[in-house]
A and B are shown apart, each in its own frame.
Chain A
Amino acid sequence: MRESTVHQTRLMFIWRLESRVTVMSACRALIHLSFLDANFQVFLRFHTMHSFFTRVNNVSALLSSCTMALLAAITIASLLQEAIYPPQIHGQISMKPVKVFNAKAPRQRRKQEMAFLNFNMTADLTPLFTWNTKQLFLSLEAEYENAQGVNNTVVLWDRIVRRPEDARVRVIGAKNKYAFKEIGGKGFSKGAATNASYALKYNLMPYVGVLRYGEAARISDVPFDVREEL
């Protein structure tokens, strides 16, 4: 009778080890095989009665499965929440005509045409903050096509929002943080790009789960105002 009980518990133990590995195997392939080694150690000496370490092993295996289940539940809940109640984000951008000067870009030897923005922007992003929101990455980007047939998207300004208190964005008279210049150093006048669209995009980063993207505001057809050299 004793033999059969022991045999049965051992089988259960193998089953548990395996189920734990399938749940976590992807992570595990990465996290080394040291855990498995440890399991195997206990596994080898497990042929009498349940000892302290067997129980530690069992509880930790069960806990890791439960944690994975909790993480998966949180991920799915966030996705469902967003699908059922899509966050309504409305923002506004206003902008003076974009000035283009011949100037020296940072870390460049030659002068080249660069564009300079002066923009106002308001948006309320508080609906994006839920229990699973770690931060928002906001970026203002320009979209334009030049005469060479290249579609360009360039991030000109960004901000990281980490608290819902900061999610009401109000930016007045701001300038671009990053240099805005044509690809290959050709210049906007030669590249024959006449105007561009600007959009405020957000990237929602969760504590756990899937990254989401969206657009909060957009302004179309802002002309480039090419000036003489300063």
Chain B
Amino acid sequence: MARERKPKLAVWKFASCDGCQLSLLDCEDELLAVADKITIANFPEASRAVIKGPYDVSLVEGSITTPHDAERIHKVRRASKVLVTIGACATAGGIQALRNFSDVKDFVAIVYPSPEYIVTLNKSTPISDHVFVDYELRGCPINKYQLLEVVSAFLIGRKPIIPPYSVCMECKRKGNICVMVAHGTPCLGPVTQAGCGALCPSYNRGCYGCFGPKETPNTNSLAEWCKKLNVSRDDLTRFFRNFNAYADSFRKESEAHER
């Protein structure tokens, strides 16, 4: 008879701020219970112990920005039964994908006195540009309850239940007054995927798109509405060009207004 085995979870980091993997340690009430059910086999931010793969679930944080990382992600994929990207960097390239709209050589020269020491790729790209990804969890940062849902779903062997609709749905359910209609504040809520709990509009500010494009986003219509609020072309470009700047629909919309 086969011995009962605890599933193995691994956490991998590429170019990122560490915030999404910190979400796992921020599950203060759930962490010890989770650690009881699964083996945390590779999680350098939290442990010096490393257990060899293969891993049942790998959580990947960060985007690919160096030739070394472009190789390393393939090793991670080979060692993982299920690969889940966590956060805007791994899913859309992150804030560091702002380089994709400029010449990275200029960027290196601005930041580093000895550019020859720096090895970097022209573009910051999502994990799915490099390997097959089983599931993409959105957010900058991710929502820790969505993370628990995704990890439990894959460990049980079912599909994660993560709503693909817009922030507007969450806002209406909360009973918020629309910041765009009532106050004329530009808001990415109509084209951004839910998950944060409509945080920004609840604090009287417009959504700035942490969770990336919703399914079938009508970015062009939103841009037209923003123009009616006297948002300049430069501001429109910046509006769509944030933490999910390289997500397809946001990228196209920001480029449409770029001068």
A and B: real partners? no
Chain A residues with CB under 8 Å of chain B are none
Chain B residues with CB under 8 Å of chain A are none
